[in-house]
C-alpha cells in the first residue's frame, strides 16, 4: 500500500467530465494530502501533452471514452514512448473483452466508472505499489470466462502456477530457479509452456492474462 509519508507523487487524471475529475481529485487529495501533485486533462491531446511535459508521472488515470482521440490510441502512444508508465484505464464499459483489450494494450489496471470511491482508491494504491488491478467480479458472471478459467487451470501444472506467481513478483529466471531449487533450463521450459497455454507472447502478458482468468 502506498504510504502518505513517501515522497511527492504526480498523478494525471484524464476525463472529459469535470465532475469525475473533481471527484477523483478530492478522493486522492484526502488519501495522499500535500504529498500529491495533481494534473488534469479533458481530452487525449492535452493528456499526451501533459505526459510529455511531466515524464516523471507516477500514475495516469485514463478515461477510454475521450472526445478527440480514442483512449486506446492514447494508451498505445503512452506505452510506446514510456513502456514502464503506470496507467489505469477508466470507462463506463466493463465487459470482459473490453477490459482484456485495455490490459493487452499495456494498462496496469482497469476501474469501471460504477466503482465505489473505496474500490477506486484500493485499485490506485495497488497499481502505485507495483501491482495490477482488474475487477474480478466482472468476469465471474461470464460463462466464457469461467470456461476459460477452468480450461487453463487444468492445463497449468501446480509447478507452473508457482513459477507464474514468482514471475508476477518480478523475479528473473535465475532467481526463480534458486527459489524453487530447479535448473534454469527447467524454468525456461515452464515459462514457454505457460506462454503457450495462456496464448500470450511474454511474461507481462502472462501475468495479466492469469489475473483476468483468476489463476493468481
CATH number of the structural domain spanning residue 177: 1.10.10.10
Closest CA to 59 of 10, 113, 120: 10
190 and 106 in one domain? no
Residue 112 and residue 18 share a domain: yes
110 and 152 both lie in a single domain: no
Integer Cα distance of 31 and 56 in angstroms: 20
Residues 60 and 29 in one domain: yes
Domain boundary among the residues 118, 140, 162 is at 140
Q: Are residues 116 and 182 in the same domain?
A: no
Examine the domain organization and report whether 121 and 19 are in the same domain: yes
Question: By percentage, how much of the chain surpasses pLDDT 70?
Answer: 86
The answer on 33 and 131 residing in a single domain is yes
Give residue for cell 515522497: 7
26 is a domain residue? yes
Q: Are residues 48 and 124 in the same domain?
A: yes
Residue 104 or 47, more confident: 47
Statement: residue 1 has pLDDT above 70: no
Q: Work out the average pLDDT over 81-105.
A: 87
Per-residue confidence band for 90, with pLDDT thresholds at 50, 70 and 90: very high
- CATH code (residue 85): 3.40.50.2300
**Cα gap 76→197, rounded to integer Å:** 26
Q: What are the two backbone dihedrals, phi and then psi, of residue 177, each rounded to the nearest 5 degrees?
A: -60, -45
Average model confidence (pLDDT) for the chain?
85
Same domain, 33 and 125: yes
Residues 17, 122, single domain; the answer is yes
Residue that is last in its domain, among 99, 118, 140? 140
- Any domain includes 4: no
| pLDDT over threshold 80, residue 49 | yes
In a domain, 2, yes or no: no
If asked whether residues 119 and 160 sit together in one domain, one would say: no
Alpha helical stretches, state H, the chain: 18-32, 44-53, 71-81, 96-104, 117-128, 136-140, 143-155, 158-168, 173-180, 184-198, 203-212
- When divided into structural domains, the chain yields a total of 2
Cα 97 vs. chain centroid, distance in angstroms?
15
In a domain, 3, yes or no: no
Q: Across the beta sheet with 36-41, what order do the strands follow?
A: 36-41, 9-14, 59-63, 87-91, 109-112
- Between 90 and 207, the more confident residue is 90
- Do both 18 and 115 map to the same domain? yes
| pLDDT tens, residue by residue, 11-45 | 999 999 999 999 999 999 999 888 899 999 999 99
Structural domain harbouring 110: 9-140
CA distance linking residue 187 with residue 210, whole number of Å: 18
CA 161/CA 170 separation, integer angstroms: 14
Phi, psi of 56 (to 5 degrees): -95, 15
Which of residues 97, 114, 140 is at a domain's end? Answer: 140
Question: What would the pLDDT profile of 59-89 be if each residue is shown by its tens digit?
Answer: 999 999 899 998 999 999 999 999 889 999 9
On whether residue 148 sits in a domain, the answer given is yes
Amino acid at each position: 500500500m502506498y504510504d502518505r509519508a513517501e515522497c511527492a507523487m504526480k498523478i494525471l487524471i484524464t476525463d472529459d467530465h469535470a465532475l469525475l475529475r473533481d471527484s477523483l481529485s478530492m478522493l486522492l487529495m484526502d488519501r495522499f494530502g500535500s504529498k500529491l501533485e495533481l494534473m488534469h486533462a479533458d481530452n487525449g491531446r492535452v493528456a499526451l501533452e501533459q505526459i510529455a511535459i511531466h515524464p516523471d508521472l507516477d500514475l495516469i488515470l485514463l478515461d477510454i471514452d475521450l472526445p478527440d482521440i480514442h483512449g486506446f490510441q492514447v494508451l498505445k502512444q503512452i506505452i510506446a514512448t514510456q513502456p514502464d508508465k503506470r496507467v489505469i484505464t477508466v470507462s463506463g464499459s466493463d465487459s470482459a473483452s473490453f477490459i482484456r483489450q485495455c490490459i493487452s494494450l499495456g494498462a496496469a489496471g482497469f476501474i469501471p466508472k460504477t466503482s465505489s470511491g473505496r474500490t477506486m482508491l484500493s485499485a490506485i494504491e495497488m497499481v502505485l505499489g507495483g501491482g495490477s488491478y482488474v475487477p474480478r467480479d466482472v468476469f465471474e458472471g461470464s460463462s466464457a470466462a469461467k470456461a476459460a478459467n477452468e480450461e487453463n487451470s487444468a492445463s497449468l501444472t501446480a509447478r507452473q502456477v508457482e513459477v507464474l506467481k514468482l514471475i508476477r513478483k518480478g523475479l528473473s529466471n535465475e532467481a526463480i530457479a534458486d527459489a524453487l531449487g530447479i535448473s534454469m533450463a527447467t524454468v525456461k521450459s515452464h515459462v514457454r509452456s505457460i506462454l503457450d497455454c495462456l496464448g500470450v507472447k511474454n511474461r507481462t502478458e502472462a501475468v495479466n492474462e492469469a489475473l483476468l482468468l483468476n489463476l493468481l
